[in-house]
């Protein structure tokens, strides 16, 4: 198991042990390990929410809307991404969850027209994880064909393990942060949610 960036070895072992209690996550990791992509990650809410479910006494799979897979392919054509999406959909057609597969190289193409501001350049799949609105869920996990696990956690794993939601204001997405954390607070009341930082005053 290889923890990346700010994750300690002890946090990494605890993290992997907890998220693997979600059997859907284990199936996704097992199959993606042999799918043939070099730069891919299972990321975002499915990992954090599995941990919060366990802490709250829920089934590990409860309240999880989807399972996000990020990958990087320099071919930014729609057809190339659509082909991978269809292959992954077929790979998990027997798993009763929604798996969302997205090429991070394509995000800058559609992000500014949709949200009104630039996303920035992307050079690897983890670049998208660095820009999550929450430091707490900026975490990712992948499994290698050998069975070894690799973690990407630029802000560490301590926050997610402690149920502390901290914003990551690298992009101006305060409304998205507030909308999602309002939902999370209702489902997982044990969470400690830090507010989005207010803009600095000139006075």
Separation CA 90–CA 159 (nearest Å) = 35
pLDDT tens digits for range 109-118: 999 999 999 9
> In the 8-state DSSP scheme, what is residue 196?
P
**Mean pLDDT, the chain, as a whole number?**
94
Looking at residue 4, its pLDDT comes to 54
pLDDT tens digits for range 38-73: 999 999 999 999 999 999 999 999 999 999 999 999
The answer to whether 156 and 8 are in contact (CB under 8 A) is: yes
Separation CA 48–CA 27 (nearest Å) = 17
The answer to whether 69 and 33 are in contact (CB under 8 A) is: no
Residues pairing with 152 in the sheet: 4, 140
DSSP strand pairing (140-143 vs 149-153) = antiparallel
The answer to whether 177 and 134 are in contact (CB under 8 A) is: yes
Looking at residue 56, its pLDDT comes to 97
Per domain, the residue ranges of the chain are 2-193
pLDDT tens digits for range 86-104: 999 999 999 999 999 999 9
Nearest 5 degrees, angle CA 75-CA 123-CA 64?
85
Please provide the DSSP assignment of 31-99 as one string.
Answer: HHTTT--SSEEEETHHHHHHHHHHHHTS-TTTT---EEEEE--S---HHHHHHHHHHHHHHTTTSSS-E
For residue 5, pLDDT beyond 70:
no
């Amino acid at each position: 198991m290889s923890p990346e960036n700010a994750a300690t070895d002890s946090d990494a072992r605890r993290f992997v042990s907890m998220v693997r209690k979600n059997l859907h996550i284990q199936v996704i990791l097992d199959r993606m390990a042999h799918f043939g992509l070099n730069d891919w990650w299972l990321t975002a809410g499915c990992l954090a929410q599995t941990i919060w479910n366990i802490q709250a006494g829920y089934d590990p799979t409860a309240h999880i809307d989807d399972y996000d897979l990020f990958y990087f392919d320099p071919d930014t054509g729609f057809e190339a991404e659509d082909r991978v999406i269809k292959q992954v959909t077929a790979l998990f057609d027997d798993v009763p969850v929604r798996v969302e597969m997205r090429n991070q190289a394509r995000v800058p193409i559609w992000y500014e027209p949709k949200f009104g501001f630039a996303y920035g350049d992307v050079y690897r799949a983890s670049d998208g994880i660095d820009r999550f609105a929450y430091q707490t869920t900026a975490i990712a996990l992948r499994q290698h064909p050998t069975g070894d696990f690799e973690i990407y956690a630029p802000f560490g794993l301590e926050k997610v393990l402690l149920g502390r939601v901290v914003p990551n204001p690298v992009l101006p997405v305060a409304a998205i942060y507030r909308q999602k954390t309002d939902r999370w607070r209702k489902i997982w009341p044990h969470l400690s949610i830090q507010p989005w930082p207010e803009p600095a005053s000139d006075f």
